[in-house]
Structure 1
Amino acid sequence: MPKIPRDRDDDYGAAAIKARQDFVREHTGSRVEHQASYSLDPSTLPGNIENFYGVAQVPIGLAGPLLVNGEHATGEYFVPLATTEGTLVASYNRGMKLCRDAGGVTTTVLDDKMQRAPVFSFGSAREARDFRDWLDEHFEEIAAAAETTTSTGKLVEIQKFSVSKLLYTRFNYTTGDAAGQNLTGKATFAACAWIKQNYPRELHFLLEGQFATDKKTSVVNMLHTRGKRVVAEITLPAALVEEQMHVSTDKLFSARLKGQLGSIMSVTNNNGNHSANGITALFIATGQDVANVAESSALYGFSELLPNGDFYASITLPSLIIATYGGGTGLATQRESLEILGCYGAGGVYKLAEIIAATVLAGELSLGSAVVAEEWVQAHDDLGRNRP
């Protein structure tokens, strides 16, 4: 059986990479001409990729300026969106123009939590209840044990959910500018080791009881926050909507109500239009873990038709999992995208959260208006017809 070439001493060196490229050519017939052409330094890749042989080049388009009136993001931003979907950048760009002409998007970060969720098992429900109370009494010691593993993570609370003779928990941390899944795993394992050593009775635990719902959308994370919880909101003058979007605000609001019912009937993770589009494009551009879109695309949309005919619109992202430090954020092209936004490195994560939320709101308004104005299909015909 053919084996992918590896070099135990220098697996990111030129010889090992070329051996894998030749391996692909020999066993698949592909020339890997474009995948094998890149400007990044392979020595920066350990910890991000294994068996490296090349790159996937995703086009990046620029949308903006996006005017944000946030507590962390203030001013105009040009937003890099990495995608292969025609019309996407144009649509977000249109929504950003509408928002800018209306005075900008107001953004607010409401909460910040990352979890690991151990489940503890006992001989009876009463034992599980007693342990629940013991956790409250020893929180400070547990937090101290968890925080020995990290310089940035802080254990802020332990949520507890009793079922039968089991106690499901959610260890909630703040994680600084890192996304924090690995950080919380390591910290919670240290906390559980302390618990097992110090709890006076027998217990058993699994480090993850599938209650953090890592990379899976869930109601518990939408209600209790996973990552950053951020709101973007704007009030749009009726005349401006009519002029730029070619729809009246009453028709826009009527369509919103119909969409609400459709979302309820389909039991989706959000009642918006396409939050995953902008979030995914920004995630790819800025080096986020793209699988987190499964959670991060969750959205609560709320709008009002005001007495004077103006239109209030807001979105809440309850589980936006992002980083400006660590993971893929420091790689060559991904770092450049974060630098374009002024978000790279320490202190940038709340600013990035506000920019993403404002971008999502702009995209929601643009697509929602296009559907009502019956311009959606024509836009895809005009801009999205790159077919072989």
Structure 2
Amino acid sequence: MFFKIPSLILKQLYTFGSLANTAGGVRFAVKNRLSDATLTGLRAVTIDGERVGPERLALETASGERIAATALNGGRTILFPLRAVLQVHVAGLGPLAQGGHEIVVAFAAEPFGDLELRVQDAIAEATPQRRTVPLDKEDNYSKEIVAARQRFAEETTGVQLEHLVHYSFDPGVTAGNIENFTGVAQVPIGLAGPVQVNGEHAQGEFLVPLATAEGTLVASYNRGIKVLNLSGGVTTTVQADCMQRAPVFVFDSAREARAFLDWIDEHLPAIREAAEATSSVARLLYIDTYLVAKFAYLRFNFATGDAAGQNMVGRATFAACSWILEQEWPQERVRRFYLESNLATDKKASQINVMRTRGKRVTAEATIPRDVLVQHMRVEPESLHYHAQVANVGAMLSGANNNGCHSPNGITAMFIATGQDVANVSESSAGLVYTEIAPGGDLYIAITIPSLIVATYGGGTGLPTQRECLEMLGCYGKGKVRKLAEIVAAVALAGEISLAAAISSLDWVSSHEKYGGPATGGAHANAGPRRGPGTGESRYRFAAGGRAGFGALIFSTSFESSSTREERVAISSLLGTPSRASAAAT
């Protein structure tokens, strides 16, 4: 089966800025940014109207092997997988003058057939050679080239690398995850839990690895997990699952754009077939359509199995759009096309993700008995519920995408530990927290994460330490992604309970004083001595009870000129809390 690639998309093969004069002619580069292919012929290259036949053409692979176009046309083939780069050498032509030049390449590839690439590139003005990071085109992950980059870093910066250069795995395992591997960033991992999860996919107790450099974080999540476990655990539900790519088609008028959406509806089965032919996993669920001016935005929504799926849906959407652009009606009317319009909001928080889901839409909920909250969190359900209502107004006032406390803290720590794409915290930071007083005076609390992007297969999940963390959770490999989503949501709920109760009970600052300050001892301590009485430090000691009704809370903290905003806020809250005596008087 042959797929004809539209010229608008075919241009993506060319590496702009690669055109250069050589001792024997001209060269330029092409990179496969489309899909896996096999080159079967190189017919001709035409530059500024001058045609050069195959006898003067050659292709150079990444390994440095040169293959004559005549050999390619004579039956030899070249594998051209996704992300592969080839240099095209044109002998006996040039030198080309500085400025723009038109290039036409006639070639053949399976499964696409005969193709013609037509682009404009330029010979740039020569620039002085600069030192660059060492690179080995044969093996860029060998011990020798890694050591060369480490020496380069030390010589360039004057910094002796003591910790960055020590790691326990073969650098080769990072191929596909990072370029120019030089070392590792070691992030501390702490364990929280085990947390009891009563999900549809995650059932049982799970020990949670959290990678973070923020003091109090692991302790806070542990506290929340303890309360949830005493309440029977967390019930979790994955409510939706999809990943997007959002191309845009440009027309001459708004009416043509509107008519295009009717055409899309009529041809949806064929579009789905073209998209799903690129993957054994991707399934096109539906296409959202939006019209603005003369632009038609299509938001393709896919199921992606155990992968996060951004690359998968990109390839599938490309195939679908290639099919669309080759049909007569769009071919005559589409003036411009872009594979991504920013409507997918990749690596960005957005309201459309909250409404329509990106990744997994998952809810974690629990009912916490009154006595558990009072005994372990020093706060009553009514106090925490009232605080949630006030904070909800604050979130609306600020325009935040999350009305909870800090769910991105736990999500980020789990993402780093388990090899997720940490930039997807942008989408995954959205959270919808809801509380109510249940019959009997207990607290019902739930968090819905509408765009949690996680994977248990592919990407960084296969790196050594990240894989170990996933294996600790029983979440490595295929068939585990919804299980991981439920565990992440459960942990997020634990963090919400812990911090909300700490703020409601005025215990926030004291925990940061105890756990979150800089190291005060050992060879690596870098904090100066704390100021004492008479050196600008004030000490406050409060007894808080009153309307909260959870008993006396003795609270001691420092209020220095260098105190954090969190400390000032908490102390202000304390000053506004009526004492037990004043409460009794009312």
Please give the range of the TM-score, normalised by the shorter of the 2 chains: over 0.9
Distance 1:199 1:260, change over 3 A: farther
SS of 1:103 mapped into structure 2: coil
TM-score normalised to structure 2 length: 0.66
SS of 1:329 mapped into structure 2: helix
1:336 is aligned to 468
2:272 is aligned to 143
2:179 is aligned to 50
Structure 2 CA distance for aligned equivalents of residues 155 and 307 of structure 1? 43
| Higher deviation after alignment, 345-354 or 122-131 | 122-131
Structure 1 CA distance for aligned equivalents of residues 150 and 244 of structure 2? 39
Q: Kindly provide the CA deviation profile for residues 298-347 of structure 1, in whole angstroms up to 9, marking residues without a partner as x.
A: 00111101242110000000000110000000000000000000000000
1:172 is aligned to 301
Q: Kindly provide the CA deviation profile for residues 148-168 of structure 1, in whole angstroms up to 9, marking residues without a partner as x.
A: 211111111011011121111
1:244 is aligned to 376
How big is the alpha-carbon RMSD for the aligned residues of Structure 1 and Structure 2?
0.8
SS of 2:326 mapped into structure 1: helix
SS of 1:328 mapped into structure 2: helix
SS of 1:55 mapped into structure 2: coil
2:553 is aligned to none
| Structure 1 position 236, deviation (Å) | 0.6
Structure 2 CA distance for aligned equivalents of residues 10 and 130 of structure 1? 52
After superposition, residues 1-388 of structure 1 pair within 5 angstroms as: 1-200=130-329, 201-203=332-334, 204-387=336-519, 388=526
SS of 1:35 mapped into structure 2: coil
Structure 1, unaligned stretches of length 5 or more? none
Could you tell me which amino acid in structure 1 is paired with residue 423 of structure 2? A
| Structure 1 position 199, deviation (Å) | 4.2
Q: Kindly provide the CA deviation profile for residues 203-230 of structure 1, in whole angstroms up to 9, marking residues without a partner as x.
A: 1321111100000000001100000000
Could you tell me which amino acid in structure 2 is paired with residue 143 of structure 1? R
Structure 2 CA distance for aligned equivalents of residues 107 and 232 of structure 1? 4
Q: Kindly provide the CA deviation profile for residues 24-77 of structure 1, in whole angstroms up to 9, marking residues without a partner as x.
A: 111112221111000011111111001111000000000001000000000000
Structure 2 CA distance for aligned equivalents of residues 305 and 261 of structure 1? 19
- Give the ranges of 4+ consecutive aligned residues of structure 1 lying more than 6 Å apart after TM superposition: none
Greater fraction of residues in helix:
1
SS of 1:126 mapped into structure 2: helix
Greater fraction of residues in strand:
2
Could you tell me which amino acid in structure 2 is paired with residue 27 of structure 1? T
Could you tell me which amino acid in structure 1 is paired with residue 470 of structure 2? L
Which structure has more relative contact order (CA 8 Å, sep 6+)? It is 1
SS of 2:456 mapped into structure 1: coil
Structure 2, unaligned stretches of length 5 or more? 1-129, 520-525, 527-586
Q: Kindly provide the CA deviation profile for residues 84-127 of structure 1, in whole angstroms up to 9, marking residues without a partner as x.
A: 00100000011001000100000000000100001111111111
Structure 2 CA distance for aligned equivalents of residues 279 and 199 of structure 1? 47
Identity of aligned residues (%): 57
| Structure 1 position 234, deviation (Å) | 0.4
The total of aligned residue pairs comes to 388
TM-score normalised to structure 1 length: 0.99
2:22 is aligned to none
